[in-house]
Amino acid sequence: MAAVIGFVSLILAIVAIITSVTLGTTMNDQLNSQLRSTAVDTTRFVTEAELLSSHPDDLTAQQVLQGKTFQGGAGLLLAIAPTNGAPSGVILTPPSTLKALSAGDLFEIQNALRNTNAATVSLPDYGSYSLIVTRTPDGSTVVTGLSRAGIQSTMAQLFTVIALATLGGLILLALTTAVTISVGLRPLRAVVATATRVANQPLDRGEVSITERVADEEADPRTETGLVGAALNTLLDHVDTSLAARQQNEERMRRFVADASHELRTPLASIRGYSELSLRDKELPETAHTALERIQAQSLRMTRLVEDLLLLARLDEGRELAHAPVDLTMLAVEELTDARPTASDHVWELDVPEEPIMIDGDAGRLHQVVGNLLANARTHTPAGTTITLSVAATTDGAELRVHDDGPGIDPKVREELFARFARGDVSRARQTGGTGLGLAIAKAIVEGHGGTISVESVPGDTTFLVRLPVASVQTSPTA
pLDDT for residue 390: 93
Which is more confidently placed, 369 or 320?
Answer: 369
pLDDT over threshold 70, residue 425: no
Listing DSSP states for 382-406 in one string gives -TT-EEEEEEEEETTEEEEEEEE-S
Length reported for the chain: 479
Q: How confident is the model at residue 427 (pLDDT cuts 50, 70, 90)?
A: very low
Nearest to 9 by CA among 156, 160, 165: 165
**DSSP structural state of residue 340:** G
Q: Report which residue type is found at 12.
A: L
- In whole angstroms, give the CA distance from residue 117 to residue 274: 137
CA angle, 328 as apex, 322 and 333 as ends, to 5°? Answer: 120
**Nearest CA among 243, 250, 248, 376 for reference residue 313:** 250
Cα–Cα separations (whole angstroms), residue 27 to 21, 117, 122, 128: 10, 20, 18, 15
The beta strand positions in 262-351, using DSSP E, are: 324-327, 347-351
Q: What is the pLDDT of residues 311-333, one digit of tens each?
A: 777 776 666 677 888 889 999 99
452: pLDDT strictly greater than 80: yes
Residue 433: band (very low, low, confident or very high) from pLDDT cuts 50, 70, 90? very low
Bridge partners (DSSP) of residue 92 are: 98
Q: Give the whole-angstrom CA distance, residue 276 versus residue 397.
A: 47
Q: Is the pLDDT of residue 348 over 90?
A: yes
Please report, as a single letter, which amino acid is at residue 205: R
- The alpha carbon of residue 359 and the mean position of all alpha carbons in its chain are separated, in whole angstroms, by 41
State pLDDT tens for residues 31-66: 889 888 888 888 888 888 878 777 777 788 888 887
Distance CA 431, CA 425 (A): 11
Report d(CA 408, CA 382) in Å as an integer.
11
- The DSSP element (H or E) to which 444 belongs, if any, is helix 438-448
SS3 86: coil
* Gap between the Cα atoms of 383 and 100, Å rounded: 121
Distance between CA atoms of residues 363 and 59, nearest Å: 128
* Chain centroid offset of residue 38 CA: 71
Closest CA to 34 of 45, 42, 46, 23: 42
Tell me, what's the pLDDT at 351? 92
Q: Are 317 and 354 in contact (CB under 8 A)?
A: no
Evaluate whether 267 touches 261 at the Cβ level (below 8 Å).
no
Pair 127, 39: CB distance under 8 Å: no
Cβ atoms of 187 and 214 closer than 8 Å: yes
Summarize the confidence of residues 388-409 as an average pLDDT: 89
Burial 311-331 (b: 16+ CB within 10 A, else e): bbbbbbeeebbeeeebbbbeb
How many other CB atoms are there within 10 angstroms of residue 469's CB atom? 14
N-term to C-term CA, the chain: 71
Q: For 146-190, how does the pLDDT look when each residue is reduced to its tens digit (9 = 90+)? A: 988 888 888 888 888 888 888 888 888 888 888 887 777 777 888
Mean pLDDT of 361-381: 89
The pTM score is 0.49
List helix spans (H) across 317-418. Answer: 328-339, 363-379, 411-414
Instruction: With beta carbons less than 8 A apart as the criterion, state whether 59 and 46 touch.
Output: yes
User: Does residue 471 surpass a pLDDT of 60?
Assistant: no
Q: Considering the chain, what percentage of its residues have pLDDT values greater than 90?
A: 14
pLDDT (0 to 100) of residue 272: 77
Residue spans of alpha helices (H) in 200-223: none
**Domains of the chain, with CATH numbers?**
2-157 (3.30.450), 201-320 (1.10.287.130), 324-475 (3.30.565.10)
Strands 347-351 and 386-394: parallel
* Closest among 244, 250, 249 to 317, alpha carbons compared: 250
Cis peptide before 382 (omega within 30 of 0): no
Does residue 85 sit in helix, strand or coil? coil
pLDDT of residue 431: 47
pLDDT one-digit tens code per residue, 267-319: 877 887 878 888 887 777 888 888 888 887 887 777 777 777 777 777 766 66
What does the alpha-carbon distance between residue 163 and residue 299 come to, in Å, rounded to a whole number?
96
CA dist 408 and 460 (Å) reads: 6
Predicted confidence at residue 385, as pLDDT, reads: 92
